[in-house]
Amino acid sequence: MARRKRGTPVDGWLIVDKPEGVTSTQVVGRARWAFNAAKAGHAGTLDPLATGLLAVAFGEATKTVPYAQHGLKTYRFTARWGEATTTDDREGEICERSDRRPDRAAIEAVLAGFIGEIMQRPPIFSAIKVDGARAYDLARRGDDVTLAARPIHVERLTLLETPNPDTAIFEMVCGKGGYVRSMARDLGGSLGTCAHVTALRRLASGGFTLDGAAAFADLETFRDDAGANARLLPVSAGLSGLRRVEVDATTAQRIGAGDTAAAPYLDAPAYWVSLAGAPVAILGAENGVARIRRVFRFA
């Protein structure tokens, strides 16, 4: 006997302003409960210490998560000089100290070296898999974890203010795979000291911003609010970074049925087709022909 799915079909995106001390999984769980949604996920984990933008995907929007995650992300963070921690943030134990405190001129002098295509070593307390296990699980049980540096793209890194000799506040715009905790650690090292993150807030991710974001505490009220669905962004919001091709109803039906011959071709690794703005499918060029990657439920 087939297992009955719990919840109702809800499609779209909800932007939540995650508070400190709450996990991304907890936000998704609360949002799914609030909308009684059958399926939900998110585009990009935030550590419990971090606050700010968490994009929650419902139903058909979950198919766009891999594409939504590829957009640039904007973070504001505070680095504390003179102390390194095991987690590269204030939740870890202090493992190194330094008496050196860089001034504003010294900090600004090194920023250019952290912009563009750079190599960055992820924190050992991260979700990266090592021989099938999460790095943070290995680190917590005391294993010697070594993660190789990886290429990342940093669009912008700006020093906003230096409230006191011990701290500096930055804003960073980076691509997928960039770690703010690693950036603070490496900035400290380049300045002849050590550092860790004490505060972190995500301001934007891809096409999503905090404008109109729902507060986590307010999700409780959505459960009994008939107008809560008006807070949802369309499924297509997760595809803002891809090119779009509009098709007619006949072509849409053929593509929805898996007819590759009907799919329009663009020389791009990923693009999407729509019917009157509603996503029909995600396509990708492969050996000079269009391939159907994902198909959406559409009217």
Q: What is the pLDDT along the chain (299 residues), one digit of tens a residue?
A: 445 557 889 999 999 999 999 999 999 999 999 999 999 999 988 989 999 999 999 999 999 999 998 889 999 999 999 999 999 999 999 999 999 999 999 999 999 999 999 999 888 776 777 767 777 677 676 767 777 889 999 999 999 999 999 999 999 999 988 999 999 999 999 999 999 999 999 999 999 999 999 999 999 999 877 778 889 999 999 999 999 999 999 999 999 999 999 999 999 999 999 999 999 999 999 999 999 999 999 76
pLDDT in the model for residue 143: 66
Note the pTM of the prediction, 2 decimals: 0.90
pLDDT in the model for residue 43: 92
Known active-site residue 47: yes
Q: How far apart are CA 158 and CA 171, in angstroms?
A: 5
Q: How far apart are CA 61 and CA 31, in angstroms?
A: 14
Domains and CATH numbers, the chain: 12-70+207-237 (3.30.2350.10), 73-205 (3.30.2350.10), 242-295 (2.30.130.10)
Helix then strand count (H, E) for the chain reads: 7, 18
Q: Which of 11, 47, 88, 186 is catalytic?
A: 47
To 10 degrees, the CA torsion angle through 250, 254, 257, 263? -130
In contact, 281 and 296? CB cutoff 8 Å:
yes
pLDDT in the model for residue 299: 60
pLDDT in the model for residue 151: 96
pLDDT in the model for residue 228: 84
Instruction: Using the Cα atoms of residue 147, residue 150, residue 153 and residue 159 in order, give the sign of their dihedral.
Output: positive
